[in-house]
Structure 1
Amino acid sequence: MKGATGLGTCAPAPKGATYCSDGLDGTVCEACNSCCSRLCAPYAATGVRVCQPASGCRVNGDLCRKNSDCCGAAGTGLPGEGNVECEIQPGKAIGICRNPRSCNPQGNVCHIKDYACTDTSSSSARNNCCGATGNSGVCQVDNLGVPRCNGLGTNCRIAGETCASSNDCCNQAPCVPDAAGILRCYAVPGGSDGGVPGPICVPKGGSCSINADCCPGATCVQKVGSTQGVCGDATPPPGTDPAKDAGTPGSDAPAPICAEYGQICKTSADCCNGISCWNGKCMDQIIY
């Protein structure tokens, strides 16, 4: 929230109907199963692991600003659309993506038995994933190791089609917001089906939902809780002195001259924080 000086001040996390109330984005973490998003990764090049948003739509218990930020928002045409809303308390600008009112929608977190990133608390994510016509909903691990509902079967979404995460898109294309805030599979310039084979990234100036969408050297600049961001340079908080900042002038963290968590890579030397290059991305290896 904003104080009288215009600077941010610490405030209690939003409340609402959710089976995940701890591990909001930005919370310091040690393991993925302590985060609502199930994504505990180093922030920029600091090496400090914090809970970070999963690709695309915001999952149950995560921060949001409007319904379209959440997995299960109405109007997407995806399994479970309309089952989830962004629950915001009166007078507040940020809320949480509430529990589904029916089956667990496309992209929402779910439970995979014995998987390291499955919530092990008494409030474990539900497994009743929604399915599209002709398909059953299943819980699958996405490109960054987050267990999420998939009701699309083996079908992938082409460039411009709606998506819940990059896992829905052909060729692992990023799932990014359009001008109206609707998440769609990224259309690579010159491509026709979501891009060329292999990992794809969004250059500076393009839209993003998380840092992993952006090409190395850029980060996803966005408001807290929103899926709408732009790949660009990190900027310092209001009132800070760039000359005394921890990173280079004009940044609020060490400049990401290396690839951040989830961004594309060719070798582990490309990645920040000693993270390995696995399956073409800087990320922890997915282990069952």
Structure 2
Amino acid sequence: RQIIDLLNLIEPTPTNTYPMVGIACATVQQRDLIASQLLKIRQRKMAGWEKIQQLFLNGLGVYQFSEMQGQHVDVLLLSMTHGTTDAQGSLTRQLHFWNTPLGINQLHVVLTRATQKFYIAHSIPEGLHSVLAADKNFIGTCILSHVVTFADYLQQGDREAAEEQLNKMKQLLSYVDSYFEPTVFGEEVELALRPYFEQSQMKRSAMAAGVRVPLYIQAKGQGEQSSVLAFDGVLAKTPLPSYEWEEKLGNYFKQQGIIFIPVLAAHWWRSPKQEARKLASRLLKHED
């Protein structure tokens, strides 16, 4: 029921369309239950059915954690089914599934989904969060406790505390900070733009609206827009990038008031000076 209620928090985008929403469930049974409830609401035209229908038309999907691999959503709703089993507050033994290699892998899948908003529905008592987090012998439930606490802080609007939980999860999972290694092409573009921008404006491997980018050109004053350059049109550092994800990321920057410009090596090698002038002109005129 919490997940259904969370759907009511989804707001339309500035273009009056709903974002793509993904519901990730800890178990297949939970996935099937939520999917059947959503279907019943739509079929019987119960309260809120029109909004749910629109969300489905915009890509709403219900998944088990492992099925989230390769999925990219704007809003992620996480459904945890674990809680206490008696009045004494004993936790269900099913919780220890997350300490298995399969469980840890599924947590990794969920934690690495690109999303703009994140909500969680769970029934783990708050007092048990710190107990689970303290026992690093059970790495899965330790991570799980940080996930729950992270989402709770986000929903409360406490971003500083949420960031602290995120850093703890990164350490537990041995995630390294994202960093873009300098490339010959990137350095040439940066060098060509130096006559047009101050050195302090051009930042390598910098954060732009919460996303690590290879080159960020910061606005100099009020009324100007900052820019992100995507070398060869993509930001992902993988052999097979997801162009759907790249497009979503480009749209995200636009929503944040940041200009997103692909820079293609194929054009640059043909006429570096001409491409440098064209690129500088686009940046100075704030053209996407």
State the TM-score, normalizing by the size of structure 2: 0.26
Q: Which has the larger radius of gyration?
A: 2
Higher percent of residues as helix:
2
Higher relative contact order (CA 8 A, sep 6+): 1
